[in-house]
A = this chain, B = another copy of it.
């Protein structure tokens, strides 16, 4: 059976939970569509996050990779179109702050996702989960992981479906974190991700 590496993140920036953590734990070792899921929880850390991702790519040798991240404030499931060679923004969970810093010197400005993002959006919408393509994964850990992923596959000449998908906050996160932002139930979030995996 094919292997799909599914990554999520630990909580960050003071939020009490991260709905992607719950999804990757729930789907660990499950068989969905043509894939067995290999889940990995990544630290929100500019050094250790990408390192762990690269070691998982080497160990697992997946046939497809989907990295998940929380996009607090977004209303829909949003497959990312592109990762850019830049780190910037808030401190990571280790307190490290990057400002306009390349992820890797002398590498390209950007890499496009190799997931079928247009089809993913279409399938989600057809099945009742609002979705659209996002043109920016930001410049924080999410973008860093997506860039590292695509750069690594490119360097190794591996042509597999791989990319990043941002999800909205969960109801639970909004309530526990006392936030005012759009949210979905954790069940809706997880079912949408399962639907994506079934269709790639």
Contacts and interface: CB of A to CB of B under 8 A. Distances in A.
Interface of A: 75-76, 81-82, 84, 86, 88, 99-100, 108-112, 118, 125, 128-130, 132-133, 135-136, 138-139, 171-172, 174-175, 180-185, 188
When all copies of this chain in the complex are counted, the total is 4
Contact of A110 (B108, B133, B181, B185): B108
A8 B68 CA distance: 37
B109 A82 contact: yes
Contact of A82 (B110, B112, B180): B110
A110 B135 contact: no
B183 A75 contact: yes
Contact of A111 (B100, B109, B130): B109
Contacts of A109: 82, 108-112
Given A183-B75, A184-B184, A81 B81 contact: no
Contacts of A174: 75-76, 130
Given A82-B109, A125-B175, 9 more contacts: A81-B86, A84-B135, A109-B109, A109-B111, A128-B172, A132-B180, A135-B138, A136-B136, A182-B182
